[in-house]
Amino acid sequence: MDEQKKGTRRRGEILEEAILNATMDELAENGYSHLTMESAATRAGTNKAVLYRRWANKSELVMAALRKWIPTTNIDNIPDTGSLRDDVVAYLRARVEPVKTIGPQTIRGLLMEPQVWRTLVAAMPQIIQRRSENKENKMTAAMMVILKKAELRGEVRLEKLSPRVISLPLDLLHHELITKQEITDTAIAEIVDGIFMPLIHAARQ
């Protein structure tokens, strides 16, 4: 569509939202491997030059769309089932839901992009520094909320848990995502029941 001829020339956030909407629709209908800058532009009713002024390539466009439309961690919306085990399972399942929306094919496609790997590698020093300084990100903060509630119920002794143990369920979830690109309920149960909860029980001794 020629926006100027139609008299509906869009700019700024309105245009960007239309492009990111179109990108998500293209992902849902055609998958990452078939999505192109041109196909996203056509669906958005603009031209690919507009996209290239904002994003250097397809992977940057897709990641921008995912950041906008995939829900982020809400510290005020944390499971409270009355059981540490069930809280952690419910929380990990909630973290997986956006991944199901994206689909394993999109994740696999992104992980194969050199630009994505360069971004991940560049971010590693900051991630390691945050861990060494024990700075909490939103997901680790959510785990702390779950654990503090469990401590009040007498299920855990927080002073016995290292930051590595606290972040372990999320770390294993991320590892599963990177290596398998798909996370099942069975995998979540194995992370919680086979690894995390035994460490929690050992820390109570």
pLDDT digits (tens, 9 = 90+) for 57-113: 898 898 888 888 776 655 567 899 999 999 999 999 988 887 776 776 777 777 677
Ramachandran angles phi, psi of 8, nearest 5°: -125, 40
Written as six digits, the tokens of 186 are 């069975």
For every residue of 184-196, DSSP letters joined together read -HHHHHIIIIIII
pLDDT digits (tens, 9 = 90+) for 132-170: 454 457 778 889 999 999 999 999 999 999 999 999 999
Q: Give percent above pLDDT 90 in the chain.
A: 47
How many beta carbons lie within 10 A of that of residue 177, not counting itself? 18
Cβ burial 99-128 (10 Å sphere, 16+ → b, else e): beebbeebbebbeebeebeeeeeeeeeeee
- Asked whether the whole model's pTM tops 0.85, one would answer no
Close Cβ partners of 201 (under 8 Å, ≥ 6 residues apart):
none
Query: What domains, with CATH codes, occur in the chain?
Result: 3-69 (1.10.357.10), 84-203 (no CATH)
The residue ranking higher by pLDDT, 190 or 125, is 190
Angle between helices 58-69 and 114-132 (to 10 degrees): 50
The residue ranking higher by pLDDT, 10 or 12, is 12
